């Protein structure tokens, strides 16, 4: 269906948007302007919504707000915001009575007129998505970057041409209900995450697998051979399967050889792509992100463009982002460290010395068993805050190599206090990193706000 037919089909349809946030708000405006009978539902009060509530009322949108915002969910089409649990009783009841429960990204997949490359994974998906976008732009393509990375793409669909490329980051919340897959599907890795939002690990893995389950024979799937779960997806691939590995050779895919060169192997031939030392952003996990990107864009982007991007791309904000050096102490913002595995494989492996680490936050019900030993190996002072502080401290003290005071553990009540403590504890030559290994929701609306606040506090020192 083309976009104009789609818009025509909205006239008179009763549509609910559950959550008046980043992905739904632009759609509410468009649907209302095209004659749909729109109800916007949100847990916040009208006072909290402020100007947004005023604007929506002017558009003729009905508002259902506060705690009972999901009551009487009787509309024909229901858009859920990605952060809303898929199996909420109210959504289940709506499906049972025949309502269509969908999302901005699902409709975009149905209507997108151009090639689509999508990335998912527990860690590395934003950086990999951005690398793909940078490589394609450098190769002269018109790129539409969106999804979980922050920009809803459906409102832009009229400006997307058939020769463009859509590069999309997808979370498990978006994927759980997907019944279409992209032309190129990339899975960076899968480790325990979001177990507060999913029924269990099995459901989380099943959601991730949706990125490739609906591909046809002409699709391409790119999988991490070094991650047991993603390697296990290989049997479900229906089209072309390319693997990537930092540890061993891949017969079909990208790998790192003993001379630290990225090699692409296909049909019995090896093609040198770049040196790992070309990659400007530090860390072994970023080599993996480039290996994934090489597989995804092989045949579309030349190796010269890939290597040039690696040399010039300086990374994404809040990902091991250098903030400042003060009195010989370097401060890094890795607020994207929202899981133990991300902090362990990123910040804790990045530096050649033991660091001062700020950790702790919202409890996503993710286990910290292996996090404690990694902290003992790599951290000299651990500054703990937030709802998970007890769990992290217990994990560190249970590590076999832990000794009293090694690392030193300090508890704080706020990020501001954490930064003050780090300033007092640090000596010239030290590295201080905010990499919480947890989500931010106990203190901040998202990891970006947490990272911005950290940077402001460090700049004020």
3-state secondary structure 100-114: EEECHHHHHHHHCCC
Question: What's the pLDDT band for 198 if we cut at 50, 70, 90?
Answer: low
Q: How confident is the model at residue 150 (pLDDT cuts 50, 70, 90)?
A: low
What does the pLDDT read at residue 52?
92
What class has domain 106-312? alpha beta
Q: DSSP 3-state assignment of 373? A: helix
Tell me the per-residue pLDDT of 294-340, one tens digit each, with 9 for 90 and over: 999 999 999 999 999 999 998 888 988 889 999 999 999 999 999 99
CA 324 to mean position of chain CA atoms: 25
Q: Is the pLDDT of residue 195 over 80?
A: no
Closest CA to 337 of 227, 192, 201, 439: 439
Q: Please report, for residues 41, 55, 145, 437, 454, the alpha-carbon distance to residue 25 in angstroms, rounded to integers and kept in the order given.
A: 11, 11, 18, 30, 28
Average pLDDT of every residue of the chain: 93
Query: How deeply is 44 buried, as exposed, middle or buried, from its count of CB atoms within 10 A (0-12, 13-18, 19+)?
Result: middle
pLDDT of 225 reads: 98
Question: Which residues fall within 8 angstroms of residue 254, CB to CB, at 6 or more apart?
Answer: 242, 244, 245, 262, 263, 264, 265, 273, 291, 292, 294, 295, 298
pLDDT of 193 reads 61
In this prediction, residue 197 carries a pLDDT of 62
Going by pLDDT thresholds of 50, 70 and 90, the confidence category of residue 452 is very high
pLDDT of 203 reads 87
Q: What are the tens digits of pLDDT across the range 24-75?
A: 888 999 999 999 999 999 999 999 999 999 999 999 999 999 999 999 999 9
200-217 confidence digits (pLDDT tens): 788 889 989 999 999 999
- Give pLDDT, residue 199: 66
- For the domain 321-460, what is the CATH superfamily, name and number? Mur ligase, C-terminal domain (3.90.190.20)
Four-residue CA torsion sign, 273, 275, 276, 281: negative
Candidates 3.20.20.70, 3.30.450.80, 3.30.420.10, 3.40.50.720; correct CATH number of 12-102?
3.40.50.720
Locate the domains of the chain by residue range. Answer: 12-102, 106-312, 321-460
What would the two tokens of residue 401 be?
């190599």
* Residue 192 pLDDT exceeds 80: no
CA distance linking residue 314 with residue 251, whole number of Å: 30
Q: Is the pLDDT of residue 154 over 80?
A: yes
Question: What are the C-alpha distances in Å from 75 to residues 48, 103, 108, 111, 332?
Answer: 25, 14, 21, 22, 47
């Amino acid at each position: 269906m083309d976009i104009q037919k789609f818009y025509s089909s909205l006239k008179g349809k009763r549509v609910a948007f559950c959550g008046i946030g980043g992905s739904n708000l632009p759609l509410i405006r468009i649907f209302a302007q095209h004659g749909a009978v729109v109800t916007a539902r949100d847990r916040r009060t009208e006072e909290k919504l402020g100007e947004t509530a005023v604007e929506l009322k002017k558009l003729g949108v009905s508002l259902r707000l506060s705690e009972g915002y999901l009551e009487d969910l009787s509309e024909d089409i229901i858009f859920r915001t990605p952060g809303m649990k898929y199996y909420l009783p109210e959504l289940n009841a709506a499906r049972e009575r025949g309502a269509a429960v969908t999302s901005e990204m699902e409709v975009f997949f149905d209507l997108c007129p151009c090639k689509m490359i999508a990335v998912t994974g527990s860690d590395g998906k934003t950086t990999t998505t951005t690398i793909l976008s940078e490589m394609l732009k450098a190769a002269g393509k018109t790129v539409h970057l969106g999804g979980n990375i922050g920009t809803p793409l459906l409102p832009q669909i009229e400006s997307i041409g058939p020769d463009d490329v859509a590069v999309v980051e997808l979370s498990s919340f978006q994927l759980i209900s997907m019944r279409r897959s992209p032309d190129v599907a990339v899975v960076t890795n899968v480790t325990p995450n979001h177990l507060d939002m999913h029924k269990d690990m099995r459901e989380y893995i099943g959601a991730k697998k949706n990125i490739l389950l609906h591909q046809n024979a002409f699709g391409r799937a790119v999988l991490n051979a070094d991650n047991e779960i993603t390697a296990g997806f290989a049997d479900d691939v229906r089209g072309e399967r390319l693997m990537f590995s930092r540890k061993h050779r891949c017969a079909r895919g990208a790998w790192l050889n003993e001379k630290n060169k990225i090699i692409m192997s296909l049909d019995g031939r090896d093609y040198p792509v770049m040196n790992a030392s070309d990659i400007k952003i530090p860390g072994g996990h970023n080599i993996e992100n480039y290996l994934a990107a090489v597989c995804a864009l092989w045949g579309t982007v030349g190796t010269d463009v890939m290597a040039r991007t690696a040399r010039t791309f300086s990374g994404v904000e809040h990902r091991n982002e250098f903030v400042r050096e003060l009195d010989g102490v370097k401060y890094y913002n890795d607020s994207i460290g929202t899981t133990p595995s991300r902090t362990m494989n990123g910040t804790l492996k990045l530096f050649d010395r033991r660091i001062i680490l700020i950790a702790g936050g919202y409890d996503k019900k993710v286990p910290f068993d292996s996090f404690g030993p990694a902290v003992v190996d790599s951290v000299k002072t651990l500054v703990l805050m937030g709802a998970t502080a007890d769990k992290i401290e217990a994990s560190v003290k249970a590590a076999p190599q832990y000794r009293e005071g090694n690392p030193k553990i300090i508890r704080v009540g706020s990020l501001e206090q954490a930064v003050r403590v780090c300033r007092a504890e640090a000596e010239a030559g030290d590295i201080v990193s905010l990499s919480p290994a947890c989500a931010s929701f106990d203190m901040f609306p998202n990891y970006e706000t947490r990272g911005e606040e950290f940077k402001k506090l460090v700049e004020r020192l």
